[in-house]
Structure 1
Amino acid sequence: MHGTSFPSFPRPNPRAISVRIARDPNDLMLVAAIRAAVFLAEQDCPMEEEFDGNDLVAAHFMGFVGNEPAGCLRVRFFGEFAKIERLAVRRQYRRTRVSFELVQASVEYIRRKGFRKIYGHAQDRLVDFWAHFGAKPLGANRKITFSDFSYTEMVLDIEPGPDAITLDSDPYVIIRPEGDWDRPGVLEVSSDRGASSPLRSALLGEI
Structure 2
Amino acid sequence: MKIVVSDDLAAAHALRRAVFIDEQGYTDAEEWDDLDGAAILLLALDGDTPVGTARLFTEGDAGRIGRICVLKPHRGTGLGAALVTEGCRRLRDAGCRVVRLSAQTHALPFYQRLGFTAHGAEYPDGAIPHRDMEKPL
With structure 1 as the length reference, what TM-score do the two structures score? 0.64
Corresponding position of 2:61: 80
CA displacement 1:38-84 (0-9 Å, x = unmatched): 01100111112111111111111000122221100011221231111
What SS does the aligned partner of 2:133 have? strand
Q: Equivalent residue for 1:65? A: 46
Matched with 1:20 is 4
Select the residue among 12, 20, 28 that pairs with 1:31.
12
The equivalent of 2:28 in structure 1 is 47
Distance 2:57 2:30 in 1: 17
| % identical equivalent positions | 25
| 1:148 and 2:132 matched | no
Q: CA contact under 8 A between 1:57 and 1:76: conserved in structure 2?
A: yes
- Aligned-partner Cα distance in 1 for 2:94–2:61: 12
Whole-angstrom distance in 2 between the partners of 1:143 and 1:77: 24
Task: Report the equivalent of 2:136.
Answer: 157
Alpha-carbon separation, structure 2, partners of 1:74 and 1:95: 20
Counterpart in the other structure of 1:188: none
Give the paired residue count: 137
Unaligned runs of 5+ in 2: none
Matched position secondary structure for 1:122:
strand
Give the number of the structure whose residues are more often strand, by fraction: 2
CA distance in 2, matches of 1:61, 1:41: 21
Letter in 2 for 1:153: D
Aligned counterparts of 2:76 and 2:135: Cα–Cα separation in 1: 25
**Counterpart amino acid of residue 81 in structure 2:** F
Q: 1:70–1:98: 8 Å Cα contact kept in structure 2?
A: no
Give the conservation status (yes or no) of the 8 Å contact 1:117–1:156: yes
Structure 1 gaps of 5+ residues are 1-16, 159-207
- Counterpart in 2 of 1:186? none
Counterparts of 1:55 and 1:90 in 2: how far apart (Å)?
20
Q: Distance in 2 between matches of 1:30 and 1:92?
A: 17
CA distance in 2, matches of 1:110, 1:63: 17
Equivalence map 1:61-140=2 (5 Å): 61-138=42-119
